[in-house]
Chains A and B, each alone.
Chain A
Amino acid sequence: MEPNQKTVSVAKKYRKRSAFGEIWHRLRKNKGAMIGGILLLILFAVALTIDFWLDQELVIGQNLRARLKAPSAAHWFGTDEMGRDLFWRVLYGSRYSLAIGFVAVFVSFIVGVPLGAVAGYFGGAVETVIMRITDIFSAVPAILMAVVVVSVLGSSTINLMIAVGVSSIPGFVRVTRAAVLTVRNEEYVEAAKALGKSNLYIIFVHVLPNCLSPIIVQTTLRVASAIVSASSLSFLGLGIKPPAPEWGALLTAGRNYILGYSYLTFFPGLAIMITVLAFNLLGDGLRDAMDPKLKR
């Protein structure tokens, strides 16, 4: 784009905004990210409130005489092999899938970010040790790592979250370390050191806040892949406890009926896809908004 009068004035306007205002402004212009964001808001609203307006009985109560009914006005997504309404189950399942996505990422965040920060900040032997261990963990394919963790801990919702979380720790360590490397020699860090602040203080107060953007992007995208990973684990038979209608578990149950009742796989799969797409769109939008160099 040729620089002209208009862009220059827009650029001036930009300067008045705070860093976050700036990001928000750019994000708002990204249609994909906004669609993703709105979708997620709706999903969150449903997941957080569903317990108040939906009778549990509808979700877990079985009616074996009405099993495997095709989608109709009464049952929008049909009924499953136990005669439960699939629409309500999918809707209720949003709770589990979102929770798994977030908690799993929280697990890897809480472990990965400090490790990455320490590695990037101190360098030297500390860095070597942390990064070599990270290498070892990432040499094991993520899904396999998750399966091993579930085998060790046994399968439950919490353990599934931990398993998915553990397998994405290396990603957080790498991203954080790379981000920290770019700021650790900045003047304000040097200044803080000169003032005799403790290393821990510097890392948390000066370094990390200045490398938030890649970490936020990483977090958003990881939530997306955590949801997919969790459903893959369910698919491999290591999911969460019944009768919880987690989407991967719904899909897996439906897999046994693909010949005649493919809607049992179709709808939960669609739910996963839309949710994950929303996270990915938002994540990509955030990346573009936070790092304009990439977008161009």
Chain B
Amino acid sequence: MKKWVSLILAMMMLCSAAAVWAEGLTTTVVQGAEAENYKKQIDIALASQITTLDPGLVSNVQHYYLFNMVYDTLLFYDNSTKELSGKLAKSFEWADDTYTKIHIVLRDDVVFHNGEPLTAEDIACSLDRTTSTLVTNSYDHVDVLGPYELDIVLKQPNVDFMYVLSHNSSAIVSKKALEANPDLGGSIGTGPWVIDMDNYVAGDTIALVRNDKYWGELPKTEKINLRLISNASSRLVALQNKEVVLMTSVNPTELMLAKMNKDLTIYEFPTAQMYYFAFNNTSGPAADNLKLRQAVAYAINHEDLFLATGDEGATPATSFWGWHMKYYFDQFDLDLSYNPEKAKELVAELGGNVTLHLMVNTSSSDYRIMSEVIQDQCRQVGIQIIIDEVDSAGATANSKYASAQHEAMLYSINMNDWDSDMGRLLSVGSNTNKAVLNNERVTELLALGVSTTDEAKRAEYYKELQILVHDNCFYIPLYYTSDTVAYQKDTSGMRISYSRDHDYSYIAVPEN
């Protein structure tokens, strides 16, 4: 057997394929040599289901792949330079210094896929209908000042709202198309790709054709199929077999094998996604029981978690905050890192015999694996973890803020760049608040953070917030993941980002 392994290793050295490791949190557009001809049609493998074509109705990473290609936003946020620029907006500015009104002038050369020109009415319609709390928490209404001129008015000051306008949940759809067909009108955008409804298989394949009337640069490829291959191993098989040109999230354990394939390029990068362990702080055994929460925190060895999921590029998390955010803080006085002895002490203080139900969404094998590791680690310090497996609907239903039934759960979050985004996880009433946290000071600090214009003060608020969450163990941040994009060598044009919402609009594969 050893011979085998050494043979494999030797082979790896000989034909080590192009493997790229991105240092730090970066965003890159993959460059390729110019070619005479490009493949007209390519297939891309998706890891999760795209259920809705309408950007106003859903916001999560897998949908962003589609939304990036089919829709445009008012602003564009380049997360590699951290700068905002206009996209559908020719110009944009805060109308005053209270951060409640944004003045926007639109481009006048943009046409929707149905042939209708883009006007301020479409912006008003799109923002009015979007369901994302990212928008609805602050957005009030649009004042249409002319066909290409408008003011976006907010309910309360939000210093980060321009970022929100660059986000896919405020993508622009056609008002006329929506009026004509309320169910599917939301699938008409202005982006470089048009959805081909004749070849659309809902929940499986989304066929896209190039928008030849696009106002910006035209893609080199003419047709793209986004295909669902939900199992990571199957995805890699399909990529190796040249059925698809690109895939995301290689199974970490199979990464070495993927790298041995000379025809593939593997791009690995740290992400802005965090896995976390959330206690229910409103009901159940963990609520008002700091010792129990801390005992679990001491019992968990973060390194073991990503050793088990095989995520070698992971970074352990200490602060429940995005490590890429401006006001990230992790110099805590209280050390809650792995310490089984302390955990045992706390369990003894609790009178031994501690049981906790952990709700795990089985749609991801990572959750399943991590839950088993945590179960084993807790067992060693005398905490019995009972794993309750549920499907996605069950997980969402059981952890809804108003009616949360879980005692604890494992989950993950893709964090945006701006600090106020943490509000989703901490504010009262938010369904993303899996800790069912209702803490006055937390709420107060969140409100202060999003409305304070003085940066130094904001930093102080966010620091206090992070210390509060950390010391009280409302959440246990586990680790920041790393991810991969694997593609056929010579593929270029895609924008790969640590935020994981890669843009495939300009993907191109040379014909040979």
Direct contact of A and B (CB under 8 A): yes
Task: Tell me which residues across on chain B come within 8 A of A82, comparing CB atoms.
Answer: 308, 369, 372-373, 376
Given the contacts A237-B391, A242-B375, A259 and B369 also touching, CB distance less than 8 Å: no
Determine if B256 and A260 form an interchain contact, defined as CB atoms under 8 angstroms apart: yes
Within 8 A of A (CB), among B354-395: 362-363, 365, 368-369, 371-373, 375-376, 386-391, 393-394
Q: Which of A72, A242, A260 contacts B368 (CB 8 A)?
A: A242
Excluding A64-B307, A239-B389, A259-B251, 10 further A-B contacts by CB distance (< 8 Å) are A60-B376, A64-B308, A72-B1, A82-B372, A155-B389, A155-B390, A242-B375, A242-B389, A243-B375, A256-B365
Mostly, the B contact residues are helix
Given the contacts A64-B304, A82-B308, A237-B363, A256 and B373 also touching, CB distance less than 8 Å: no
Q: Which of A60, A64, A260 contacts B253 (CB 8 A)?
A: A260
Within 8 A of A (CB), among B256-276: 256-258
Determine if B310 and A70 form an interchain contact, defined as CB atoms under 8 angstroms apart: no
Q: Which residue of B lies closest to A257 (CB)?
A: B253
Determine if B254 and A259 form an interchain contact, defined as CB atoms under 8 angstroms apart: yes
Task: Tell me which residues across on chain A come within 8 A of B391, comparing CB atoms.
Answer: 151, 237-238
Task: Tell me which residues across on chain A come within 8 A of B372, comparing CB atoms.
Answer: 62, 82, 242-243
Task: Tell me which residues across on chain A come within 8 A of B237, comparing CB atoms.
Answer: 258-259
**Chain A to chain B contacts (Cβ below 8 Å), 30 pairs:** A60-B376, A62-B372, A62-B373, A62-B376, A64-B304, A64-B307, A67-B307, A70-B1, A70-B4, A72-B1, A81-B310, A81-B369, A82-B308, A82-B369, A82-B376, A155-B389, A241-B388, A242-B372, A243-B372, A253-B368, A256-B232, A256-B365, A257-B251, A257-B253, A258-B237, A259-B233, A259-B251, A259-B258, A260-B253, A261-B253
Q: Which residue of A lies closest to B360 (CB)?
A: A242
Task: Tell me which residues across on chain B come within 8 A of A155, comparing CB atoms.
Answer: 362, 389-390
Within 8 A of B (CB), among A199-236: none
Task: Tell me which residues across on chain A come within 8 A of B232, comparing CB atoms.
Answer: 256
Q: Which of A239, A253, A255, A260: most chain B CB closer than 10 A?
A: A260
Indicate whether A292 reaches chain B with its CB closer than 8 angstroms.
no
Given the contacts A151-B394, A237-B363, A67 and B233 also touching, CB distance less than 8 Å: no
Indicate whether B46 reaches chain A with its CB closer than 8 angstroms.
no
| Interface residues on chain A, size class | 20 to 34
Determine if A237 and B362 form an interchain contact, defined as CB atoms under 8 angstroms apart: yes
Q: Interface residues of B, CB < 8 Å — how many? A: 35
Task: Tell me which residues across on chain B come within 8 A of A62, comparing CB atoms.
Answer: 308, 372-373, 376
Indicate whether A123 reaches chain B with its CB closer than 8 angstroms.
no
CA distance A180 to B368 in the complex (A): 47
Indicate whether B236 reaches chain A with its CB closer than 8 angstroms.
yes
A281 to chain B, nearest CB (A): 33
Indicate whether A61 reaches chain B with its CB closer than 8 angstroms.
yes
Task: Tell me which residues across on chain B come within 8 A of A272, comparing CB atoms.
Answer: none
Task: Tell me which residues across on chain B come within 8 A of A237, comparing CB atoms.
Answer: 362-363, 389, 391
Residues of chain B having any CB pair with chain A under 8 Å: 1, 4, 231-233, 236-237, 251, 253-254, 256-258, 304, 307-308, 310, 362-363, 365, 368-369, 371-373, 375-376, 386-391, 393-394
Determine if B253 and A154 form an interchain contact, defined as CB atoms under 8 angstroms apart: no
Determine if B387 and A257 form an interchain contact, defined as CB atoms under 8 angstroms apart: no
Task: Tell me which residues across on chain B come within 8 A of A257, comparing CB atoms.
Answer: 233, 251, 253-254
Task: Tell me which residues across on chain A come within 8 A of B304, comparing CB atoms.
Answer: 64
Determine if A242 and B387 form an interchain contact, defined as CB atoms under 8 angstroms apart: yes
Task: Tell me which residues across on chain B come within 8 A of A72, comparing CB atoms.
Answer: 1
Q: Which residue of B lies closest to A68 (CB)?
A: B253
Task: Tell me which residues across on chain A come within 8 A of B362, comparing CB atoms.
Answer: 155, 237-238
B277 to chain A, nearest CB (A): 16
CA distance A126 to B337 in the complex (A): 67
Determine if A260 and B307 form an interchain contact, defined as CB atoms under 8 angstroms apart: no
CA distance A263 to B253 in the complex (A): 14
A263 to chain B, nearest CB (A): 12
The 6 residue pairs across chains A and B that have the minimum distance between CB atoms: A237-B362, A259-B254, A155-B389, A258-B233, A260-B257, A242-B372
Interface string of A46-61 (1 = CB under 8 A from B): 0000000000000011
Task: Tell me which residues across on chain B come within 8 A of A258, comparing CB atoms.
Answer: 233, 237
CA distance A70 to B373 in the complex (A): 21
Determine if B236 and A259 form an interchain contact, defined as CB atoms under 8 angstroms apart: yes
Task: Tell me which residues across on chain B come within 8 A of A256, comparing CB atoms.
Answer: 231-233, 251, 253, 365
Task: Tell me which residues across on chain B come within 8 A of A243, comparing CB atoms.
Answer: 372, 375-376
